[in-house]
Structure 1
Amino acid sequence: MADNEFGYTIWGMDWVRLAEPISLTKPEPLLPRARSIARNGGVETEIENTMVRATIHRGSEASVTYLEFAPLPSADIRTIAGLVPAGALSLADELHGAILGAGVTLAPTLASVDCSCRARTERCVHMLATCYTLARQVDENPWLALDLRGYRTGGSAEDPVEVPVSRWTPLDTLDPAAYFDLPAN
């Protein structure tokens, strides 16, 4: 696995799977370009709790991509805290295996994705480049994998409820009178 440019640790490979899910049935044509953008330092990330804001510059175009990750449930955080040695400066691959063996899923789950580009799809080249950049950052600092899932900030107070968030609002669902606050006749 040392030949991999992104996800060369077991911690980072979980994050590469965001861009390269095993469930894909056909080749993704945007992946080579996304890897190139990430490889050449075209992604600048700002991380705050479970949210990532990435600025991607390609030529004369710039895009802003937001990724938000589902926090770990409180029970999973307690389980991880029992396995991580006190004062641990780095997280070894063996610890990743122990956490998985305890029944905790470490693979990140996207709660929300948004990009300012014209692609009109969640899996745009900017989102994919951000995933590769995060994988590289997690390879360098495995604590980031836990922090982006809310490990040090407490995670979720209850088990997360999956609510699909629509990226677009269909026009036929809007009531013009209520939307524009028009007085009733």
Structure 2
Amino acid sequence: MADNEFGYTPWGMDWVRLAEPLRQTRPEPLLPRARSIARNDGVRVEIEGRTVRAHLHRGGQASVAHVEVAPLTRAAVLAIGRTITDPTVLTDETHRALLDAGHSPAPTLASTDCSCSARTARCVHVFATLYTIARRVDENPRVALELQGYFDADAESDTPAPEPRWTPLHTLDPGRFFDAAR
């Protein structure tokens, strides 16, 4: 049995590193509680494309956390496709081959959000979501590539176009926004 309950494969460890970065100089006090929430199945995850929505319930409190993963560039998709011969079988050796070829399969977060009162991008709910994703990726490494958009056929450009989270007010035309015919 593996020593780590989260990230016992290299694919899952990439996700654990999002919560526990190596460059961090002091311990994060929220991580033990986040691991406990994930360990006790306190996170219900819904994956839609590159977005993960997690519903967390503890006692009388409920929170919804969103984690959005940045898409792979077209060049990275092509390079990974040349290295991986069969994307249905992703092993530790496949992960090592990608690293040896200079293509890290580690994800990059585009954004995180939570409905809790902490008002930070790194709250206990986001951490618990990352641990839950790490557990899913440990069980099925294909999820790691799916969340980065590897299997999407419509990646055309070298750099991904960021999707705007908000619409700036100055871009709206009041005449078209409000029905002026009334």
Verify same fold: TM over 0.5.
yes
SS in 1 for 2:16: helix
* Residue matched to 2:179: none
* Residue matched to 1:127: 126
Which whole-Å CA distance do the structure 1 matches of 2:90 and 2:67 have between them? 24
Cα pair 1:90 1:141 within 8 Å, conserved: no
Which whole-Å CA distance do the structure 2 matches of 1:55 and 1:162 have between them? 25
Which whole-Å CA distance do the structure 2 matches of 1:37 and 1:156 have between them? 39
Which whole-Å CA distance do the structure 2 matches of 1:129 and 1:157 have between them? 33
Q: Structure 2: which 5+ runs fail to align?
A: 171-182
Structure 1 residue 23: deviation in Å? Answer: 1.4
Q: Spell out, residue by residue over 1:23-51, the C-alpha distance to the aligned partner (whole angstroms, 9 max, x if none).
A: 11111110000000000000000001111
Which whole-Å CA distance do the structure 2 matches of 1:145 and 1:105 have between them? 12
- Asked if 1:56 corresponds to 2:56, the answer is yes
Cα pair 1:70 1:111 within 8 Å, conserved: yes
* Residue matched to 1:137: 136
Q: Structure 1: which 5+ runs fail to align?
A: 168-173, 176-185
Q: Spell out, residue by residue over 1:61-97, the C-alpha distance to the aligned partner (whole angstroms, 9 max, x if none).
A: 00000010101111111111122224x5321111111
With structure 2 as the length reference, what TM-score do the two structures score?
A: 0.85
Q: Which runs of 4+ in 1 moved over 6 A?
A: none
With structure 1 as the length reference, what TM-score do the two structures score?
A: 0.83
Structure 1 residue 156: deviation in Å? Answer: 6.5
Q: Spell out, residue by residue over 1:134-162, the C-alpha distance to the aligned partner (whole angstroms, 9 max, x if none).
A: 00000000000101110001456332478
Which whole-Å CA distance do the structure 2 matches of 1:64 and 1:144 have between them? 21
Which whole-Å CA distance do the structure 2 matches of 1:56 and 1:148 have between them? 20
**Would you say how many aligned residue pairs link Structure 1 and Structure 2?**
170
- Superposed CA RMSD in Å reads 2.6
SS in 2 for 1:65: strand
- Asked if 1:98 corresponds to 2:97, the answer is yes
Equivalence map 1:145-160=2 (5 Å): 145-154=144-153, 155=155, 157-160=157-160
Equivalence map 1:1-185=2 (5 Å): 2-86=2-86, 88-154=87-153, 155=155, 157-160=157-160
Identity of aligned residues (%): 59
